[in-house]
Chains A and B, each alone.
Chain A
Amino acid sequence: MRYQLARILCAALPLLGGLASAAERGHSESIAVVVGAESGIADVTMDTLRELYLRRRRVWPDGSRVIPVNLPADSETRKTFSKLVLGRLPQDLSGYWNRLYFDGIQPPVVLRTPEAVCAYLAVEPKAIGYMRRDEVDRAACRILLVLGE
C-alpha cells in the first residue's frame, strides 16, 4: 500500500500544480473511461463499469484486485459519470454506501484532478478511471470506452 501511494505522489506531484485549464484545452461533453497505457485490461462494458464503481465486483477476470478511481464528488465530470453509469448523483448514493459500510466495503478512492488520475493509472495496471475525453493524456492512458457521445 505505501509503495503504491509513493508511486502516486512521484507521478502526480509535478502535475498537480500548474494545470492547463479546461478553457485552454476546450470543452468536451464526452467522458472517456481509461486505464494505463501498459494495462492488460482490454475492454469494459457499461454493466461491468457499474459493478466496479458500486464495488459489487472487486476483482478482474484474472482474479487481480480492481482499483476504481473517482474524481471529487463536486466535479461536474464525476456527476455526469455517476448519472450515466450508476443512474444517480454522488450524493444520492449515500444510503447505498452507508449499507456497504457494514461489510467493510468502501467507496472508490478519489484523486483530485484528471492529471493525477492519469499519472496513477500509468503506474497501476489494475486501476480504472474516467475523465473528459479532451483531458486524456494519451501517453499515459488508453481509452476503453467513451460515454455520452
Chain B
Amino acid sequence: MRRVIELRRMWSIAVVPALLVTVLAASALAGPIVTRDPSGVGIVLPGNLWISGDATITVEAPETQPTTFELDDVSLLARWEPLSRLAFFGELRLENVFEVVEHEGVITSGGIVEIERLYAETLLTPELSLRIGKVFTPFGLWNVISRGPLTWTVEEPAITENVFPQRATGLSLVYQKTWRGWSFDATAYAPGQNQIQFREAEDESLDSGLLFGGRVAAGRDFGPAYASLGLNAAGFTRRESREWQTATGLDLEVYAGGHEITGELTYRVPAAGGRTTHGLYIQDAIPIVRTLYGVLRFEYFRRPDGPAATGQLVGLFWRPVPNLVLKTQYIFGTRRLENLETGFEASLSLLF
C-alpha cells in the first residue's frame, strides 16, 4: 500500500514538468505563421487547444525571519475549445518543490500537485456564460489572478488572502456587456468552496463548506482615462461548524496616463457577532520605460484578534521579453503579520 502511494506521488509530481517539456518542444517546432501581440504567451495547437505554463523562483528576506530561496510554483494551464460555445479549462500547480532556508539548508518536501482550477464553460448567449467546476472566487480584482506570475507584485495584498474563500466550486454565471460605452460585468456563484482537489485541505477554516456570492461592476472611458467600480458580496460557512460569515467589498480600477491604479476594500463579518476582519489596499503600477514599471502600494489590515497593521510597498516589475517576468519589492510596515511581512522580496518567472 505504501509503495502504491509512493508511486502515485512520484507520478503526480512528475506530470507537470513532463507536460511543460512537451509544451516547449511543440512550441519550438510550431514556428509563427500569423503572429500575436508581444503580451501573448503559450501555444495554440490544432483543435483550438491552448497550453501554457510558468515557473517562479522567489527570494524572501523578511526583517525578522530567515532569508529563503524557493522554487514554489510550477503551473500548467490549458484551455480547449472544441466548439465555439464550449470550452474546458484546467490549471495544475506544483507547489513547495524545494526551499533553501538561511541557517537550515535545503528543504525538499517533494512537491505537492494541486488542482487550482478545473471547469467547463458554455456560452448560453454571446454575453452570458455558465462555468461548471472549480474557479477562483470572483470576489474583487486580485483573487481571480491570484498568485500568478503576471501580477504586479511578488505577494498579494493582505486583505485578499484568507479573508474569504479563494476558490469556488459549483456553478458560476458570468455576464459581460458593453452598452453605450459602459462596460457591465456581473458574476454569481454557488454552492461550494475548494471541493475539487487531490488532497484534503490542512486548514479548513476557509476552505470547505458552502459558498454563495456575486460581483457587479461597471466601467467606461472618461476622456483619455478608463475607470471601473465593482461591488462584491459573499456568504460562506465552514463545513464542520456551519458558522456563517459574510464578506462585502468594493474594488476600483483606473487606467490613466499609462498608470494602472487598483484598489479593494473588504469587510468580513461573522454572523454570530464578534469582531470583524477588514482592510484595504490601493496600488499604482507606474510606467517607467517600455516594459519596466514601478509599483507603489499602501495596505491597511485588521484582524479580529489584534490591532491594525499598515504596509507600504515599493517595487519594480520588468518584462524584458514576453516569457520572462522579474519583480522586486520592499514592504515597510507598522506591524509584522503572517500575510503582511515587512522586508525584501524578489521573484523570477518563466512563462511558456
Contacts and interface: CB of A to CB of B under 8 A. Distances in A.
A48 B183 CA distance: 11
B261 to A, nearest CB: 10
A83 B175 CA distance: 25
B89 A106 contact: no
B35 A109 contact: yes
A1 B46 contact: yes
B203 interface: no
A110 B39 contact: no
A92 B286 CA distance: 11
Contacts of A5: 33-34
A17 B37 CA distance: 22
Contacts of A97: 37, 39-40
A49 to B, nearest CB: 9
Contacts of B41: 101
A99 interface: yes
Nearest to B47: A1
B123 to A, nearest CB: 6
A106 B44 contact: yes
Contacts of A60: 126
A72 to B, nearest CB: 8
Contacts of B190: none
B11 interface: no
A2 B45 CA distance: 9
B36 A106 contact: yes
Interface in B73-115: 77-79, 81, 84-85, 87, 89
Interface in A71-100: 72-73, 87-88, 90-95, 97-99
Contact of B150 (A1, A88, A101): A101
A148 interface: no
A104 B79 contact: yes
A29 interface: no
B34 A8 contact: yes
Contact of B52 (A64, A93, A99, A104): A104
B47 A63 contact: no
B258 interface: yes
Contact of B255 (A61, A73, A88): A88
A111 B41 CA distance: 17
A3 to B, nearest CB: 10
Interface of B: 33-42, 44-48, 50, 52, 77-79, 81, 84-85, 87, 89, 123, 126-127, 136, 144-146, 148, 150, 152, 176-181, 183, 221, 224, 226, 255, 258, 260, 285, 291
Given A101-B52, A104-B77, 4 more contacts: A1-B44, A47-B180, A72-B35, A103-B79
15 contacts: A1-B45, A9-B33, A50-B183, A51-B176, A57-B127, A58-B84, A59-B126, A65-B81, A98-B145, A102-B144, A105-B79, A107-B36, A110-B35, A110-B36, A112-B35
